[in-house]
């Protein structure tokens, strides 16, 4: 088949005329992506050249609006590709990610460093008062100008070339980092024998049996390095030796030596980020990053984190004392360690509030929590959700819903991908296959939430912990940010806001989960429909701040390490893991608590640059 036929038959480049204009996943194969990227990049280059070389004087329409209209095919191919890389990857997609990441970075630099384009934008900026732009258009102009300046537009040619080279290499390192973590996660599987099951609740055992069966060990139970497997195992397993084994494996992701070790990746990424900041005239990468955020300066972000750190550490110390008392009362003689905390915290919560996760989880089935998240959105925003079974999706476990507004007209397609699998990176996130805009008519968004919940056995309900239910609500808050987007220009759609604002809608939405009216309506046993008893709702409310010292310390430690790392003016040759250990020692990190993310698997800051020098934003 020749290249012309390849492109002609490529589903990524054809008309997406199925329901809701969703990607035709049933027809997309890994081999379609490279020719689609090549064709889409060629189209975008031609579009950019036409804008830059336009002999007409620059106007908002022929420059900024034209930039907003460019690259639609590339946007479409990228959205499908990178969503699949995160959610349902394979060796072919990973190889292409390593290939395409630097190419796409190079193309972006070529646009943002284009002198002719920058001159047109500067002309518009100088004439802005005369242009009479609407506020949204003025914002788009400002964001384009800022993006060009921060990419090196207007700097000497050799400086721009070095900045572009740094961007290419960082894109490659980000891809490598995430793939290394995924490889370590896939390589670990702890098969539990009958004597290893003490303390594990039925909900965990059902999910662990399903995992073992899927991984080729029918009749057994298995623990993976998915957080939805690790955390309940640490919470319930009476086998301290196995808790330690699982914890250490979880902590060592990306730090096991060999081909998947991230030490060299982190070192080079930190060096290149600092070099970029110096080339741009900033004292550190953190200063460069925060100059374009709400915080403005690293001092503001670090100051906030430090104000939280001391009281959080003091509270965690009191919590640790309570857990150590339980250890002593059981006649045991060891110091509380990180693999012990969740196990003894569960016992202490039971003692203080008469709550245990095993009692709680049957009332938090996944279906009920999805319905609860949808219902809150209906009551707050008038949204309704209707499941679609006629839309091909990328995995049998993935589901889709049409979202309609108060008028009854569709406003979005929502996709839910809830279960852990070896082909999916860890964590939970929101993304999009298509962003909302109305530059040339209404374009409705296609928004996806991705989780890593442990899948139950056939015919059994997936039961969530209260933390997992919070995660579902949190990510759905992000989803609503995309679903409710109402802008003209794609650049401003959905979560395209200041990086330290983006966590606000999601964290706000979480609070609706534990509202008594939400629990009364939707916290019901999946098997009998029995609602959560009122007494349990009251006890859950009373325990809402239980273990908050621990939770705040593990998060804030990671955020402070992120900032300290990226405040290094010249980190040449830095051993990042050793730096992290020194920083935690300086902070007085409690020995019984580990950071939420240790640097070798800290994907927020190293799998790309999204939260680099920005993990503080969950607190901002």
In a domain, 120, yes or no: yes
Same domain, 134 and 203: no
> What is this structure's pTM?
0.96
CA distance linking residue 611 with residue 615, whole number of Å: 5
Element spanning 400, H or E:
strand 399-404
Last residue of a domain, one of 150, 176, 206: 150
Last residue of a domain, one of 132, 150, 168: 150
What are the distances in angstroms from CA 498 to CA 105, 146, 277, 449?
A: 21, 13, 19, 21
Same domain, 331 and 479: no
Give me the residue label for tokens 């980092």: 177
DSSP state at residue 398: -
Same domain, 369 and 515: yes
Mean pLDDT in runs of 10 for the chain (620 residues)?
60 95 97 98 98 98 99 98 98 98 98 98 96 97 98 98 98 98 96 97 94 95 96 97 99 95 98 98 98 98 98 98 98 98 97 92 97 98 98 97 98 98 95 98 98 91 96 99 98 97 97 96 94 96 96 99 97 95 98 98 95 96
Same domain, 90 and 134: yes
Positions annotated as catalytic residues are: 475
Please, what sign has the CA dihedral across residues 128, 131, 132, 138? negative
Same domain, 337 and 382: no
**Sequential DSSP letters for 289-326:** HHTTSSS-SHHHHHHHHHHHHHHHHHHHHHHHHHHHHH
In a domain, 165, yes or no: no
The backbone torsions φ and ψ at residue 483, rounded to the nearest 5 degrees and listed phi first, read: -65, -40
What are the distances in angstroms from CA 284 to CA 246, 318, 571, 580?
A: 37, 37, 10, 18
Same domain, 396 and 522: yes
* Domain encompassing residue 461: 365-542
Same domain, 49 and 195: no
Please calculate the CA angle 64-71-116 and round it to the nearest 5 degrees. 45
Q: What pLDDT does residue 5 have?
A: 43
In a domain, 453, yes or no: yes
* Residues 229/420, Cβ–Cβ less than 8 Å: yes
Same domain, 244 and 296: no
DSSP state at residue 260: G
From its phi and psi, is residue 254 left (phi > 0), alpha (psi between -120 and 50) or beta? left
- Helices 91-112/72-87 angle, 10° precision: 140
Q: What pLDDT does residue 458 have?
A: 82
Least Cα distance to 558 among 511, 616, 501, 513 occurs for 616
Element spanning 338, H or E:
helix 338-353
Same domain, 384 and 429: yes
* Tokens standing for residue 469: 């239910």
Task: Check which CATH number belongs to the domain holding 289 and give it.
Answer: 1.10.1370.10
The backbone torsions φ and ψ at residue 415, rounded to the nearest 5 degrees and listed phi first, read: -115, 135
In a domain, 487, yes or no: yes
The backbone torsions φ and ψ at residue 462, rounded to the nearest 5 degrees and listed phi first, read: -75, 120
Element spanning 586, H or E:
helix 576-587
Cβ partners under 8 Å of residue 260, min gap 6:
180, 181, 183, 184, 187, 254
Please, what sign has the CA dihedral across residues 30, 109, 617, 400? negative
- Helices 33-52/72-87 angle, 10° precision: 140
H runs (alpha helix) in 113-218: 115-126, 128-131, 135-150, 157-187, 202-214
What are the distances in angstroms from CA 344 to CA 106, 327, 336, 427, 589?
A: 51, 8, 9, 24, 19
CA distance linking residue 471 with residue 427, whole number of Å: 10
Same domain, 500 and 519: yes
In a domain, 160, yes or no: no
Tell me how far apart the 2 most distant CA atoms of the chain are, in Å: 84
Least Cα distance to 230 among 217, 243, 241 occurs for 243
In a domain, 566, yes or no: yes
What are the distances in angstroms from CA 618 to CA 304, 305, 503, 613?
A: 11, 10, 6, 12
Give me the residue label for tokens 């990671």: 558
Q: What pLDDT does residue 8 have?
A: 73
Q: Would you tell me how many other CB atoms lie within 10 Å of the CB of residue 569?
A: 13
CA distance linking residue 412 with residue 40, whole number of Å: 25
Task: Check which CATH number belongs to the domain holding 43 and give it.
Answer: 1.10.1370.40
Cβ partners under 8 Å of residue 298, min gap 6:
284, 286, 287, 290, 563, 566, 567, 613
The domain total for the chain is 4
Same domain, 374 and 523: yes
CA distance linking residue 341 with residue 323, whole number of Å: 7
In a domain, 456, yes or no: yes
Same domain, 371 and 490: yes
Last residue of a domain, one of 487, 520, 542: 542
Cβ partners under 8 Å of residue 358, min gap 6:
201, 202, 203, 236
Question: What would you report as the CA-atom Rg of the chain, rounded to the nearest whole angstrom?
Answer: 25
DSSP state at residue 608: S
Query: In 291-303, which positions are buried (b, 16+ CB within 10 angstroms) versus exposed (e)?
Result: bebebeebebbbe
In a domain, 171, yes or no: no
């Amino acid at each position: 088949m020749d290249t012309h036929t390849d492109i002609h038959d490529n589903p990524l480049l054809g008309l997406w005329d199925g329901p809701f204009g969703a990607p035709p996943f049933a027809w997309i194969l890994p081999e379609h992506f490279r020719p689609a990227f090549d064709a889409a990049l060629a189209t975008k280059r031609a579009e950019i050249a036409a804008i830059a070389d336009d002999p007409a004087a620059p106007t908002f329409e022929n420059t900024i609006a034209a930039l907003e209209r460019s690259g639609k095919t590339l946007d479409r191919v990228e959205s499908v590709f990178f969503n699949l890389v995160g959610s349902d990857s394979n060796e072919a997609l990973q190889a292409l990610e390593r290939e395409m990441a630097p190419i796409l970075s190079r193309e972006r630099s070529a646009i943002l460093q284009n002198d002719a384009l920058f001159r047109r934008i500067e002309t518009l900026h100088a004439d802005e008062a005369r242009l009479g732009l609407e506020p949204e258009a003025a914002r788009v102009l400002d964001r384009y100008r800022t993006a060009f300046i921060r990419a090196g537009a207007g700097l000497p040619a050799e400086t721009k070339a070095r900045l572009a080279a740094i961007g290419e290499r960082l894109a490659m390192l980000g891809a490598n980092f995430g793939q290394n973590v995924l490889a370590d996660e896939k390589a670990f599987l702890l098969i539990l024998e009958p004597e290893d099951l003490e303390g594990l609740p039925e909900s965990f055992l059902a999910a662990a049996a399903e995992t073992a069966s899927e991984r080729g060990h029918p009749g057994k139970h298995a623990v993976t390095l998915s957080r939805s497997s690790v955390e309940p195992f640490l919470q319930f397993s009476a086998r301290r030796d196995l808790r330690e084994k699982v914890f250490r494996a979880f902590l060592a992701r990306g730090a096991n030596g060999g081909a998947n070790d991230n030490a060299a990746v982190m070192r080079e990424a930190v060096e290149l980020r600092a070099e970029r900041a110096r080339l741009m005239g900033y004292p550190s990468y953190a200063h460069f990053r925060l100059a374009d955020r709400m915080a403005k300066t690293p001092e503001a972000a670090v100051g906030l984190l430090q104000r939280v750190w001391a009281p959080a550490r003091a509270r965690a110390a009191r919590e640790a004392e309570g857990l150590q008392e339980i250890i002593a009362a059981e006649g045991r003689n060891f110091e509380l360690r990180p693999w012990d905390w969740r196990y003894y915290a569960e016992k202490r919560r039971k003692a203080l509030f008469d709550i245990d996760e095993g009692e709680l989880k049957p009332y938090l089935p996944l279906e009920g929590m999805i319905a609860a998240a949808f219902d809150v959105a209906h009551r707050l925003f008038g949204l309704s959700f209707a499941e679609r079974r006629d839309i091909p999706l990328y995995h049998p476990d993935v589901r889709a819903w049409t979202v309609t507004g108060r008028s009854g007209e569709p406003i979005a397609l929502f996709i839910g991908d809830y279960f852990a699998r070896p082909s999916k990176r860890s964590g939970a996130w929101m993304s999009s296959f298509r962003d909302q805009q109305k530059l040339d008519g209404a374009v409705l968004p296609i928004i996806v939430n991705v989780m890593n919940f442990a899948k139950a056995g056939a015919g059994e309900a997936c039961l969530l912990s209260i933390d997992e239910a919070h995660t579902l609500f949190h990510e759905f808050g992000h989803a609503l940010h995309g679903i409710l987007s109402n802008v003209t220009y794609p650049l401003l759609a959905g979560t395209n806001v200041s990086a330290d604002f983006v966590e606000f809608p999601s964290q706000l939405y979480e609070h609706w989960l534990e509202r008594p009216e939400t629990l009364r309506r939707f916290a019901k046993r999946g098997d009998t429909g029995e609602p959560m008893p009122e007494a349990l709702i009251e006890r859950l409310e009373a325990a809402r701040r239980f273990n908050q010292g621990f939770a705040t310390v593990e998060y804030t430690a990671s955020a402070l390490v992120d900032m300290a790392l990226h405040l290094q003016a010249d980190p040449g040759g830095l051993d990042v893991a050793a730096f992290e250990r020194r920083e935690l020692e300086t902070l007085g990190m409690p020995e019984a608590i580990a950071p939420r993310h240790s640097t070798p698997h800290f994907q927020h800051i190293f799998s790309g640059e999204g939260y680099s020098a920005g993990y503080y934003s969950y607190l901002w």
